[in-house]
Structure 1
Amino acid sequence: MYNSCRMREAWVVETAWEVCWQLGGIYTVLRSKAPAMTARLQDHYCLVGPYNQATASIEFEETNEDTPFHRAAAELAAKGAHIHCGRWLVSGRPLVVLIDFLASWNKIAECKYFFWKDHQIDAGDEAEVNDVVLFGYLVADFFQQLQAQIALLPEAERYPVIGHFHEWMGGAAIPILKKRHVGIATVFTTHATLLGRYLASDDPFFYGRLPSIDAYRAAGDRGIYNRFAIERAAAHGADCFTTVSDITAVEAEHLLGRRPDQVLPNGLNIRRFAALHEFQNLHQLYKQAIHEFVMGHFYPSYTFDLDKTLYLFTAGRYEYRNKGMDLFIESLARLNFRLKEEKSDQTVVAFIVTKAPVRAISVDVLKSQMMFRDLKHTCERISHRMTERLLYSAALGKVPTIEDLLEESSQMALKRQHHAWRRQGWPAICTHDMLHDAEDAVLNQLRTCHLYNAPEDPVKVVYHPEFLTGTSPLLGLDYDQFVRGTHLGVFPSYYEPWGYTPMECAALGIPSITSDLAGFGSYIQRQMPDHEEKGLYVCRRNMLSFDDSANHLVDQLMSFIKTNRRDRIEMRNRVESTSDQFDWNVLVENYWKAHDLSLSFFERLQKGGSTKAE
């Protein structure tokens, strides 16, 4: 049996479409995991992905080094492939091979023919599927060259090769490698089954119906049969089949027909502060920035007490149902009603941050922020003069009056700015002019729920349909800074194979609510029985109606709102203290176990044994 303590005695190659190319969550997995992989494997580790010039020019540095990966790339290039070998410019600086598959487009007809002949998978005429098939054959060519190069090494360095493939777009090479009898151990990871994502988006009873779904027919009905077939072939062809959560493992068993051998939870690179007050100070700093946005957005219409205001948010890709945005908005409407009923003096400002088609920032919203900043600068200038006048009055032995401190010209300036800033009407619920306002699901539900930011409503809403950046003229905060300034992240996903957002909240010392249908929620329920005490809440969605889940989420929000400031400070301390459990240095051990499984198969196969990892 292969000894996991000697992981450098293998050559590990991870293949994925998102190497040096940010398209979705797998990019975060690969990039954040790289330091943990290179710390143990060093230059025995390499990533393979497609070459994209726009992103490679920023994230990739081509190098000329003497490694088996470079030599294999050179051999492939000598046979006509366009291939780049170097380093990914991220922490850990892992070796990377990027294949320009489009430069080999003259081979696409041949590749499609053999993919059908050998595997009975028709690539069809879909551009993305054709790209994946061509890339898969080039990746298989690279592994063959790598095997040849390793065979030339001294006997002491001829370690087995592990090929780890992510998602259907990276996994097309697996059936090709098996057909060619290339002697490498293979691992396939599905982060979310392709069919499952399609089905869950339009079926509110997806999990209840999962055991009875005819996967072949469902894939055909949705026009994704060729993609589904590639994913299924990769899952069945891999020596070790893995996924990222127990939730997705059940889904994969029903839709792909194979139970995963190992679960690989996703992690982060956790940066812990030496002193607890450091991250608490950052919370105060960025909360003040949110305060200023809120004053600029709401105060021209009406005011409320910021000391009794809590900031909630949800964020992620615009998958309205899958990400639980529908449940979040419904819970806000019910929360608004309950706070009114209880005559609570608390205000809740809920942010919805996603990426939707927009024309531009709303002129009125931007104007309010600019006028608020003018007011802020005026106050800063006046405060400097007030300090001088205060000192002079004190030196004279006087207790200064407002006239002594605030000269008439300053009073007039403040009054003029205040009158210019005031506006009629309620604050906008959306910060941008939407490209398809009448068709936007979030806006339509906010209107249906009468969440209009009325003065009497304790729950206010800010829909920000652009990802946050520090250069934005609105909030002016990067995403991680914004999260640090909030009080609670809410991510009640219906379909979420893992879910990085609540984990990111924990790493930043912010409590969060996830769901039991999210991989992360399932993970903490299993691993942390006292997760609620540590600021990690799980909303029940599995086998519950939408109405029952909304009531449960409102109960959790009400419980949080009723905590006092001291309790929230202690909760932030507790959630931050748990974050090291989600560090890749801890969770990467699951990858070593998966690699061990695939290597065990490799050794048994060499001896004529079983054809799958056990």
Structure 2
Amino acid sequence: MPTSSSPPTPPASTIPDDTLLVEVAWEVCNQVGGIYTVIRSKVPATRQVWGGRYCLLGPYFPQQAQGEFEPDDENLLASSEDSFASAVRAMRALGYQVQLGTWLVTGRPRVVLIDPFQVYPQLDAIKADLWNDHHIPVPAADDLLHQVVAFGELAKVFLTLLAAETAPPRQLIAHFHEWMTGVAIPALRREQVPVQVVFTTHATLLGRYLAMNDPNFYDHLMQVDWLAEARRFNIEPAVTMERAAAHGAHVFTTVSELTVRECIYLLDRIPDAVLPNGLNIERFVALHEFQNLHQQYKNKIHEFVMAHFFQSYSFDLDKTLYLFTSGRYEYHNKGFDLTLEALARLNYRLQQSGLEGQVVMFFITKRPFTSINPQVLQSRAVLEEVRETCEAIERQVGERLFFAAAASDDNRLPDLSTMVDDYWRLRYRRTLQSWKTQALPPVITHNLVDDQTDDILNFLRRANLVNNQHDRVKIVYHPDFVSPTSPLFGMEYGQFVRGCHLGVFPSYYEPWGYTPLECVARGVPAITSDLSGFGDYVLQNVPAHDEQGIFVVHRQEKSFDESAEELTDMLWQFVQLNRRERIMQRNNVESSAEMFDWKNLRVYYEHAYQLALERA
């Protein structure tokens, strides 16, 4: 890896070899958000350093855990010298239901899962203690908060028992992620449990709400009254838990320089360290194959595009670029508004320029829908029938042409149409007639529960960006996850990403942002913004990032119009690249991915753990 592209690293760790590390997260064996990717992808690099001294702790939800958790009761009974197993046995002796086993992901880490519902009979007493000791309010009718509070109590019990199994001078570090597990921290500190606590907020809860509702969020950040705003959004208990965890931790961390500002003004504590997120790049590495994989999966996207558009009109797929954006449906925060504005401007530029080619832009997000659009499904099914008809004609003509060639004295190619039976001629004609239509291709693939209030659809209607034949930018809005079971794409999300030419993620609020990083890991160029943690990190640590295929839209201290114009310029430059230049760019992107590997970024975590031990 080039030295010039290497991020500045903290000093080498001097953590004693017998220190234990427990990482506590709501997403352990429980995929509900982006922190699942953080924890899961970091496991191999963490295990490489910590080995058997590392354990993960999370809530036990059988339905979610069954596909990725393997219980290990035999090991539990056999390991008399295993501190984690001893703590689990001690909890079971007290009557608690605790699971010990392995997370079936790369690295196969030790996992302890605890069912939060088992202490629901004691909820009133637990909630009373939270209020009396820490002034944390918990309402009576919020089941998620009840689960969080119950798990916090059980996590405290486990760590207390584990600390008792950890004889000095051996030390114990507990690293809590997000407010949903951080509720255990105040009690651990109050009861003076000998555990060094690290707390990471990946995005302040209040910050996310404010950013969604205030277009000038960053300008107003210094004037925010956190309590008044938390009450306005009805999130006071969760925000209070987050603040208590931040102030109770020995070491308080966040994931980017951008969220440092949020922590200062919304949590009233300056983070001790910034822990940038990485990926286990080995999972994505395709060596020399990544260009071939791009072609393979692009052909799959071609099939979808033919079914979606060619029913109404056709265009040259070899001169078509596939762009996409994806993520949680937060129209403003995720930059969908900026992306749509830039696409409308790009469409106009392309129409005026006379350049050849089309752009197909995919919006992949999750919205409530009733069904897949029947027109979209039928078009895909009829196109498949067209394919089968063509393959049957191909076989028939192939056989007859072979015999005709062997028997002929004429070297000229015969009229192939004479080799097709009337049955297949008629079927070919009728299938095409039943498929073709004068209607425009739909911009959305599903029937939304309420499409009249959908921001993406309303923009497309206002801008008349509705897949007219003369539009050079076509839109496919897919309000569901891409999966192999989908009748529309029939491929995994990662395969879909590899088949695209460019990922577009100009977020307004994005504490880190995995989507552009996942593009880079797959050798796909990506656009991010300087208001995303990833984009800010790239600006600070990756010289000539444009040459590496990582583009950063400037949104800090810029108007919406200025940022939209900059994004339009980036897209304009991209669509003018020729095939050779795009191949070279993908090579550069793929070669830069290693700098974001956890093997390189884990040192930030080790520095935070070192700091926690120093504060013991």
TM-score (norm 2): 0.94
Look up the match of 2:437.
423
How far apart in 1 are the matches of 2:126 and 2:119? 11
CA shift for structure 1 position 34 = 1.0
CA shift for structure 1 position 39 = 1.6
Matching of residue 17 in structure 1 with residue 14 in structure 2: no
Matching of residue 82 in structure 1 with residue 97 in structure 2: yes
2:601 to 564, 587, 596: 587
CA shift for structure 1 position 221 = 1.9
The residue type equivalent to 1:93 in the other structure is R
Matching of residue 122 in structure 1 with residue 122 in structure 2: no
1:142 to 158, 175, 183: 158
Matching of residue 359 in structure 1 with residue 370 in structure 2: yes
Mark the CA change 1:544 to 1:46 in structure 2 (over 3 Å): closer, same or farther: same
Question: Superposed, which structure 2 residues align to 1:204-603 within 5 Å?
Answer: 204-271=215-282, 277-395=288-406, 396=408, 397-403=410-416, 406-409=419-422, 410-602=424-616
- Whether the 8 Å contact between 1:119 and 1:175 is mirrored in structure 2 is yes
Counterpart of 1:455 in 2: which secondary structure? coil
Counterpart of 1:513 in 2: which secondary structure? strand
CA shift for structure 1 position 231 = 0.5
Q: Higher mean Cα deviation, 28-37 or 565-574?
A: 28-37
- Whether the 8 Å contact between 1:389 and 1:404 is mirrored in structure 2 is no
Mark the CA change 1:93 to 1:276 in structure 2 (over 3 Å): closer, same or farther: closer
Counterpart of 2:282 in 1: which secondary structure? coil
- Whether the 8 Å contact between 2:15 and 2:610 is mirrored in structure 1 is no
How far apart in 2 are the matches of 1:533 and 1:45? 39
CA shift for structure 1 position 111 = 0.9
Mark the CA change 1:208 to 1:291 in structure 2 (over 3 Å): closer, same or farther: same
How far apart in 1 are the matches of 2:192 and 2:572? 59
Mark the CA change 1:275 to 1:219 in structure 2 (over 3 Å): closer, same or farther: closer
Report the aligned-residue RMSD.
1.6
CA shift for structure 1 position 7 = 5.7
CA shift for structure 1 position 16 = 1.0
The residue type equivalent to 1:427 in the other structure is P
How far apart in 1 are the matches of 2:283 and 2:34? 23
Counterpart of 1:588 in 2: which secondary structure? helix
Counterpart of 2:23 in 1: which secondary structure? strand
Look up the match of 1:109.
124
Counterpart of 1:227 in 2: which secondary structure? helix
Mark the CA change 1:334 to 1:380 in structure 2 (over 3 Å): closer, same or farther: same
How far apart in 2 are the matches of 1:281 and 1:384? 28
CA shift for structure 1 position 275 = 7.4
Unaligned 5+ runs, structure 1: 603-614
Look up the match of 2:184.
173
The residue type equivalent to 1:107 in the other structure is Q
CA shift for structure 1 position 505 = 0.4
TM-score (norm 1): 0.94
Look up the match of 2:8.
none
CA shift for structure 1 position 401 = 3.0
CA shift for structure 1 position 475 = 1.3
How far apart in 2 are the matches of 1:408 and 1:81? 75
- Whether the 8 Å contact between 1:510 and 1:576 is mirrored in structure 2 is yes
CA shift for structure 1 position 402 = 3.2
The residue type equivalent to 1:92 in the other structure is G
The count of residues paired between Structure 1 and Structure 2 equals 596
| Percent sequence identity over aligned pairs | 49
Mark the CA change 1:405 to 1:145 in structure 2 (over 3 Å): closer, same or farther: farther
The residue type equivalent to 2:203 in the other structure is A
2:35 to 26, 35, 41: 26
CA shift for structure 1 position 146 = 0.4
- Whether the 8 Å contact between 2:343 and 2:568 is mirrored in structure 1 is yes
Counterpart of 2:615 in 1: which secondary structure? helix
CA shift for structure 1 position 161 = 0.3
- Whether the 8 Å contact between 2:257 and 2:533 is mirrored in structure 1 is yes
Counterpart of 2:100 in 1: which secondary structure? strand
CA shift for structure 1 position 110 = 1.2
Counterpart of 1:350 in 2: which secondary structure? strand
Look up the match of 2:3.
none
Q: Higher mean Cα deviation, 429-438 or 132-141?
A: 132-141
Deviations 1:576-604 (A, max 9, x none): 011111111111111111111111111xx
Matching of residue 35 in structure 1 with residue 44 in structure 2: yes
How far apart in 1 are the matches of 2:316 and 2:299? 14
Mark the CA change 1:325 to 1:391 in structure 2 (over 3 Å): closer, same or farther: same
CA shift for structure 1 position 330 = 1.4
How far apart in 2 are the matches of 1:417 and 1:28? 45
CA shift for structure 1 position 210 = 0.9
Q: Higher mean Cα deviation, 119-128 or 419-428?
A: 119-128
Deviations 1:267-286 (A, max 9, x none): 11113888754110111111
How far apart in 2 are the matches of 1:272 and 1:197? 30
1:100 to 115, 119, 126: 115
How far apart in 1 are the matches of 2:493 and 2:17? 36
How far apart in 1 are the matches of 2:203 and 2:419? 63
Counterpart of 2:293 in 1: which secondary structure? helix
The residue type equivalent to 2:374 in the other structure is V
CA shift for structure 1 position 384 = 2.5
The residue type equivalent to 2:414 in the other structure is T
